[in-house]
Amino acid sequence: MKKTILWTPLLTLATLVSSPLSGKVEAVLPTLYTVSGIVFAIGMGLIVSFSLHGIQNRDYIESIRENIYRVRRSFIMFFSCSTLCYLLHQYIPTLPIQLFDLKLILHPNLFTCFLIILSIAYFIVNFIEIQNLNDDIFDRLLKEKNDHT
């Protein structure tokens, strides 16, 4: 269900604005994909180097690990989808879509552009959340250490 909710607005948006932007997007895609790769690498570096050192509560450790694993899987999924679309967009023809009396045209390069932008936004939001979690853990450990001394 969540995947349908995510893909439906993306597909709709790409379809609605595809005609006026189709020629301009092709020049931007390599840059967007490069930015996506850089942000993905930074996020994965944060995830891999995330330290649970100092946490004593086993329930907290398990909960944090599960959340970190979930974020890692979704990072890999978003980047994999972006990569696949980036590689395939040039081979997929423009698709006319007929909805009742409305004829829409979906340009694969625009869909790919929006998917990459969505991925970058997702990476950045999770990047910030991981940093905040790390700061919260540090602050909590420091508070507990000061309360016990």
pLDDT tens for each residue of 3-14: 545 556 665 665
Q: Which two tokens stand for residue 119?
A: 């991925």
Q: Check: CB of residue 32 under 8 Å from CB of residue 116.
A: yes
Residue found by looking up tokens 């950045």 in the block: 124
Longest dimension (CA), the chain: 73
Decide if pLDDT at 95 tops 70. Answer: yes
3 part of a folded domain: no
Q: Check: CB of residue 112 under 8 Å from CB of residue 89.
A: yes
4 part of a folded domain: no
41 — pLDDT class (breaks 50, 70, 90): very high
58 part of a folded domain: yes
How many whole angstroms separate alpha carbon 50 and alpha carbon 52? 7
| Highest mean pLDDT of the ranges 15-19, 92-96, 115-119, 127-131 | 115-119
Query: Positive or negative CA dihedral for 120, 121, 127, 128?
Result: positive
Percentage of the chain exceeding pLDDT 70 = 83
DSSP codes, 56-116: --HHHHHHHHHHHHHHHHHHHHHHHHHHHHHHHTTTSPPEEEEETTEEEEE-HHHHHHHHH
14 part of a folded domain: no
Residue 45 CA to chain centroid, in angstroms? 15
5 part of a folded domain: no
Q: Which domain holds residue 113?
A: 24-148
Decide if pLDDT at 99 tops 90. Answer: no
| Highest mean pLDDT of the ranges 101-105, 118-122, 138-142 | 118-122
Q: What is the model's pLDDT at position 55? A: 80
Return mean pLDDT, the chain: 81
11 part of a folded domain: no
Q: How many domains does the chain have?
A: 1
Q: Check: CB of residue 110 under 8 Å from CB of residue 22.
A: yes
pLDDT in tens, 44-57: 998 888 888 888 88
Q: What is the model's pLDDT at position 33? A: 94
Q: What is the model's pLDDT at position 1? A: 41
How many whole angstroms separate alpha carbon 86 and alpha carbon 124? 20
